[in-house]
Amino acid sequence: MKAKKLLSLVLAAGMTLSIAAPAVNADDEIKVLLDGKELTFDVLPQLINDRTLVPFRGIFEALGYEVDWIDAYEGIVALNKTNNTSINMAIGRNTAFLLGEGIHANPDAKNEIDKNDPSIPQGVIEGSEYYQVDLDVPPQLIDDRTFVPVRAVSEMSGYKVDWEESINTVVITSPADIMTGPGPALPEATTNPATQTAPGPVKPAETTNPATQTAPGPAEQQYTLEYDSSRELLESEMKNFEMTSITKDADGKYVIDYKLTTFLEGKGDVTVTFNCLDASGKVVDTWTRTYHSVDYTRTPQKDTVTVSGDTVKIEYVMK
């Protein structure tokens, strides 16, 4: 708890010093291009210590993240559901934390976390997949708006960043290894188990779902079940539930691979419960799981469950 209090005090002190944005001549305005398309922000990008900073929500959402603002430590938690990667940043802090499957991106910029640093939240230290990334310039308040370094955020996400000085433009380019559209995309960019197990000359090693790797015979038929995500709007501890693969076993029951994210203000476990409804709306099955959630971070979780074959709809049970 002392570490968390220290971090909060340091950040709180930094928050009292909000930088005023300098007046920018129209010819000096900084532009940001993502795969050739100009990004539009509600306030102009700023140049601080020769580094371009942009509004945090605009850049994260453009790169495919969902963003939460954590009042407890004046920080940002961004989650990319495509590659199950989370980035944790805080105002005034020259270190960011990267968690999840995207840690392969820009490996030269990462260091293992200094577990002896008392200002790092304990939950981050306990996250074994976290990497610590040093920032040239930290996130900061400018005219009461939160700005983040565009190069650091983009490179942590696996993108290539160039600076075109002649036109004052940041050029961000998507790497080939995260392309998901049709065409000659690399095989490892295919993350949907339903497509990975489709019949064809796909190598067994590319199938990442253990359940389908050990199943004999041809690829199993995939099914579709309904899920109403509206209840997640009223829930803070569980979001982003998604069924990634649905098959049936020999007994006619559904075998569901799924993923979700958990969040807890303070380290600990999050317990979630789901009901399975049949065509008449009757509950025909239920399952409950408990997941460890990292302190103040949307933590990616993956799991598998077997439920009644009469299920047509999955419903999250509110607490």
Q: Is the pLDDT of residue 111 over 60?
A: no
Domain 207-316 grouped into CATH 2.60.40:
yes
pLDDT in tens, 38-92: 999 989 999 988 899 999 999 999 999 998 888 777 788 888 877 777 888 889 9
**Domains of the chain by residue range:** 2-178, 207-316
108 has pLDDT over 90: no
Q: 310, 309, 313, 231: which is closest to 272 by C-alpha?
A: 231
Whether residue 295 is predicted with pLDDT greater than 70 in this model: the reply is: no
pLDDT at 124: 53
Q: Is residue 312's pLDDT more than 90? A: yes
pLDDT score for 13: 37
Assign domain 2-178 to a CATH class: alpha beta
Angle, vertex CA 9, rays to CA 5 and CA 14, nearest 5: 150
Please tell me which residue, 271 or 234, carries the higher pLDDT value.
271
In the numeric block, the tokens 């077997």 are attached to 306
Please tell me the predicted confidence (pLDDT) of residue 244: 92
pLDDT (0 to 100) of residue 133: 82
Alpha-carbon gap, residue 216 to 220, rounded angstroms = 9
Among 61-75, 133-147, 229-243, name the one with the lowest average pLDDT. 229-243
pTM of the model: 0.49
Structure tokens at 211: 């359940």
- For β-strands 169-173 and 160-164, DSSP reports them as antiparallel
pLDDT average, residue stretch 140-146: 88
Residue 208: C-alpha distances to residues 79, 191, 214, 216 (Å): 21, 8, 11, 16
Q: How many CA atoms lie within 13 A of 269 on its CB side?
A: 6
